[in-house]
């Protein structure tokens, strides 16, 4: 089994998936001539589609409708708009989301329940439904299997870079492709985040097996990132299997394991790109926690450090103020905490050994690590065999500016 990484979507299209983009003028301050803000994704018949959504109890209207439509039909189209989240909009928001699904259904001659809506942008404003019909028509007319990169650009909000990856796997002399795009930059917190992700493969998997693959990949990627600790109302991750490669993946097979590995890798790359592009971020910080008694303990320690404003601002300043990390570990709620067993390192530079300052640590060595743009914090509690990897970023002046000016 071999796998290849590439971002050339024209080289590795996913059979059974076509994408179209259009400018609807939904995002404020952008004219319809210079901003793609509507994306339409067409899914071939007989495909399987699964999803995971935000854990925020305040679900946006498109999340509510997408969940409902998934119980009624097998999706044929995904409709994505940026610039307006259609969240906090009550019954009108529900009606507006359904109206947009109706527009796609009429153009494509499918059922309304075969369309899933997705929105991202400002919360609390009604969707400008009048702007959708013309843009939907345009997106439908330019549907193409080569439009992955254009679609990746069309789903961005405050993002500064496109997040897209594709993989080709050779399994038993048959080639399958997995491609994915995502958006996300702020209001990023696990379970999920202010993110949208669309991933497709031409492999053939049953609905239940496909859902398990997505859940496993998400739990090792999108659910392990945080920019600011805020969970959005609109988060969605979609996985589509068209089956058009002809290669069927069976439960517990080596072939499925290879597919799962590649899918998880794509999700991890997209997730890390979201963190790298965190609003105002200048550093990607990986937090590797080990030596824990159970998964919850590992997760609590990792995210306490990841969410600490003092830790995050120290990294922005490239200040090796390691006491902030130690303090965050200490308030993570670990029971029977034994400080004497704790070891902490920045990359390969130990700052804490056996609960105290490492004897070979120097400010100069710490500074060399802190000056990097990609840094790993290693935290070993020395009390078990459970571990976790979490990704976050620093807090900069620009994070405050971007979010203070978000609606202006």
Q: Which residues contact 343 (CB under 8 A, 6 or more apart)?
A: 350, 352, 353, 354, 378, 379, 380, 382
51 pLDDT higher than 70 = yes
**Element holding 283 (H helix, E strand):** none
Please return the burial class of 111, using the count of CB atoms within 10 Å of its CB with bins 0-12, 13-18 and 19+. Answer: middle
91/37 same-domain check: yes
**Measured distance CA(268)–CA(391) in Å, rounded:** 10
292/154 same-domain check: no
32 pLDDT higher than 60 = no
Q: Which one has a higher pLDDT value, 54 or 253?
A: 253
Confidence of residue 2 (pLDDT cuts 50, 70, 90): very low
What pLDDT, in 10s, does the model give residues 226-282? 876 655 677 889 999 999 999 999 999 999 999 999 999 999 999 999 888 877 789
243/295 same-domain check: no
Confidence of residue 54 (pLDDT cuts 50, 70, 90): confident
**Measured distance CA(173)–CA(177) in Å, rounded:** 13
Does residue 346 contact residue 375 with C-beta atoms inside 8 Å?
yes
Confidence of residue 336 (pLDDT cuts 50, 70, 90): very high
226/102 same-domain check: yes
| Residue 229: per-residue pLDDT | 60
222/309 same-domain check: no
206/252 same-domain check: yes
Mean pLDDT of 62-74: 96
Closest CA to 137 of 83, 53, 97, 79: 79
Q: Which one has a higher pLDDT value, 291 or 3?
A: 291
Q: Which residues contact 378 (CB under 8 A, 6 or more apart)?
A: 288, 290, 343, 344, 345, 346, 347
77/107 same-domain check: yes
Q: Which residues contact 252 (CB under 8 A, 6 or more apart)?
A: none
Among 232, 252, 276, residue at a domain's last position: 276
73 pLDDT higher than 90 = yes
Mean pLDDT of 125-142: 97
Q: Which residues are catalytic?
A: 194
**Measured distance CA(196)–CA(264) in Å, rounded:** 16
Domain count, the chain: 2
CATH of the domain at 203: 3.60.70.12
| Residue 66: per-residue pLDDT | 97
Structural domain for 311, as ranges: 284-404
| Residue 360: per-residue pLDDT | 95
12 pLDDT higher than 90 = no
| Residue 233: per-residue pLDDT | 72
| Residue 30: per-residue pLDDT | 47
Mean pLDDT of 318-339: 93
Q: What percentage of residues in the chain have a pLDDT greater than 70?
A: 90
144/192 same-domain check: yes
Does residue 173 contact residue 72 with C-beta atoms inside 8 Å?
no
Closest CA to 169 of 202, 128, 132, 205: 202
Quote the tokens at residue 20.
């179209």
| Residue 314: per-residue pLDDT | 94
255/397 same-domain check: no
Q: What percentage of residues in the chain have a pLDDT greater than 90?
A: 77
| Residue 8: per-residue pLDDT | 61
Among 253, 276, 299, residue at a domain's last position: 276
CATH of the domain at 353: 3.10.20.340
Confidence of residue 408 (pLDDT cuts 50, 70, 90): low
29 pLDDT higher than 70 = no
211/66 same-domain check: yes
| Residue 192: per-residue pLDDT | 43
379 pLDDT higher than 50 = yes
Among 276, 295, 321, residue at a domain's last position: 276
Confidence of residue 7 (pLDDT cuts 50, 70, 90): low
Quote the tokens at residue 84.
């307006």
- The mean pLDDT of the chain is 90
29/135 same-domain check: yes
374/263 same-domain check: no
**Measured distance CA(266)–CA(198) in Å, rounded:** 11
Threshold 0.75, pTM exceeds: yes
């Amino acid at each position: 089994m071999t796998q290849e990484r590439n971002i050339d979507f024209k080289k590795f299209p996913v059979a059974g998936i076509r994408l179209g983009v259009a400018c609807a003028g939904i995002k404020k301050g952008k004219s319809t001539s210079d901003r793609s803000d509507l994306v339409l994704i067409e899914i071939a018949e007989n495909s399987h589609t699964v999803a995971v959504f935000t854990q925020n109890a305040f679900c946006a209207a498109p999340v509510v409708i997408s969940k409902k439509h998934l119980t009624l039909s097998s999706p044929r189209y995904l409709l994505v708009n940026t610039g307006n989240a259609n969240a906090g909009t009550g019954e009108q928001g529900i009606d507006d989301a359904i109206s947009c699904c109706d527009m796609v259904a009429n153009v494509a001659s499918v059922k309304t329940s075969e369309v899933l809506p997705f929105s991202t942008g400002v919360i609390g404003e009604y969707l400008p439904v009048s702007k959708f019909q013309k843009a939907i028509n345009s997106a439908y007319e330019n549907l193409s299997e080569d439009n992955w990169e254009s679609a990746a650009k069309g789903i961005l909000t405050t993002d500064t870079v496109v997040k897209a990856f594709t993989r080709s796997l050779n399994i038993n002399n048959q080639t399958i492709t997995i491609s994915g795009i995502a958006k996300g930059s702020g209001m990023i917190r696990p379970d999920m985040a202010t993110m949208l992700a669309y991933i497709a493969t031409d492999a053939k998997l049953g609905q239940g097996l496909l859902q398990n693959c997505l859940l496993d990949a998400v739990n090792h990627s999108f659910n392990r990132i945080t920019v600011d600790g805020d969970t959005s109302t609109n988060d969605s991750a979609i996985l589509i299997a068209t089956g058009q490669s002809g290669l069927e993946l069976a439960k517990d097979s080596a072939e499925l394991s290879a597919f799962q590995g590649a899918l998880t890798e794509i999700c991890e790359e997209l997730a890390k790109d979201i963190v790298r592009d965190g609003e105002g971020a200048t550093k990607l910080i990986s937090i590797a926690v080990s030596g824990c008694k159970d998964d919850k303990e590992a997760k609590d320690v990792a995210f306490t450090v990841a969410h600490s404003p003092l830790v995050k601002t120290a990294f922005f300043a490239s200040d090796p103020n390691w006491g902030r990390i130690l303090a965050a570990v200490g308030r993570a709620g670990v029971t029977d905490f034994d400080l004497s067993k704790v070891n902490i390192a920045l990359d390969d530079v130990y700052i804490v050994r056996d609960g105290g300052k490492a004897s070979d640590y120097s400010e100069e060595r710490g500074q060399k690590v802190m000056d990097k743009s990609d840094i790993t914090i290693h935290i070993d509690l020395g009390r078990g065999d459970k571990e976790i990897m979490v990704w976050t970023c620093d807090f900069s002046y620009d994070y405050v500016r971007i979010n203070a000016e978000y609606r202006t």
